A and B are shown apart, each in its own frame.
Chain A
Amino acid sequence: KAGVTQTPRYLIKTRGQQVTLSCSPISGHRSVSWYQQTPGQGLQFLFEYFSETQRNKGNFPGRFSGRQFSNSRSEMNVSTLELGDSALYLCASTIFGGGDTGELFFGEGSRLTVL
């Protein structure tokens, strides 16, 4: 069974640009969550999607957005990039989300560098 796949793995952008990251969950998983990982703040929750609906949202500005498609694949977008957006963005999937065992299956992440 294939794991969670994130693309691209690495990317470099400049301030003011925008970026789109993609996540393909494990087959059959309907919940996709996104986290931002930085050395100073650790793992911070961005948002969760379930059946194409945003179910939870973390405390990030509106520049961070996401969506989920009918095949459960998800994308997140960051507009007007800032230096502080440099981070590893992790996607995780699970079958149902909050009501299940709580185990998240993570991808390897997309490392974004903003210059």
Chain B
Amino acid sequence: GNSVTQMEGPVTLSEEAFLTINCTYTATGYPSLFWYVQYPGEGLQLLLKATKADDKGSNKGFEATYRKETTSFHLEKGSVQVSDSAVYFCALRWNSGNTPLVFGKGTRLSVIA
């Protein structure tokens, strides 16, 4: 079946460090891919998305590129801030039909000053 695998956390970085959170997926065909973020005490919110191969999603300094050849959608940010501390979820969804989002287990990021 369809699944999403994320690197396990927690990830602890110093402010201004480079961030990579790995995400790979297993699916037949070409799903849409998403990164959601959950700040402490809040629900999830969409961070960025890509709907086809080689698309790059970007938002708030975060980027992720849809790599069909490696079935990956790694999240990157060049310089993290304390305010980026949150749990990050990679997710996929089929482009056709009424199918639910399938989430990875989440990666907790802590950024220290």
Contacts and interface: CB of A to CB of B under 8 A. Distances in A.
Interface of A: 4, 33, 35, 41-43, 45, 48, 50, 55-56, 58, 90, 92, 97-99, 101-109
Contacts of A101: 49
A98 B60 CA distance: 26
- Give chain B's interface secondary structure class: loop
B99 interface: yes
B29 interface: no
Contacts of A106: 43-45
Given A43-B89, A104-B46, A108-B43, A99 B103 contact: no
B43 A102 contact: no
Given A98-B98, A99-B98, A41 B44 contact: no
Contact of B44 (A50, A56, A90, A99): A90
Interface residues on B, range: 20 to 34
A4 B43 contact: yes
- The residue in A90, A92, A104, A106 that gathers the most chain B C-beta atoms within 10 A of its C-beta is A104
A-B complex: 3 closest residue pairs judged by Cβ atoms:
A98-B98, A106-B43, A42-B105
Given A107-B43, A108-B43, A102 B49 contact: yes
B89 A98 contact: no
A97 B49 contact: no
A102 B94 CA distance: 9
Given A102-B32, A102-B49, A103-B49, A56 B99 contact: yes
Contacts of B77: none
Nearest to B99: A98
Interface in B72-99: 89, 93-94, 96-99
Nearest to A40: B105
Contacts of B96: 98
Given A42-B104, A42-B106, A55-B98, 18 more contacts: A4-B43, A33-B100, A35-B103, A42-B89, A42-B103, A42-B105, A43-B105, A43-B106, A45-B100, A92-B43, A98-B93, A102-B32, A102-B34, A102-B93, A106-B44, A107-B43, A108-B42, A109-B43
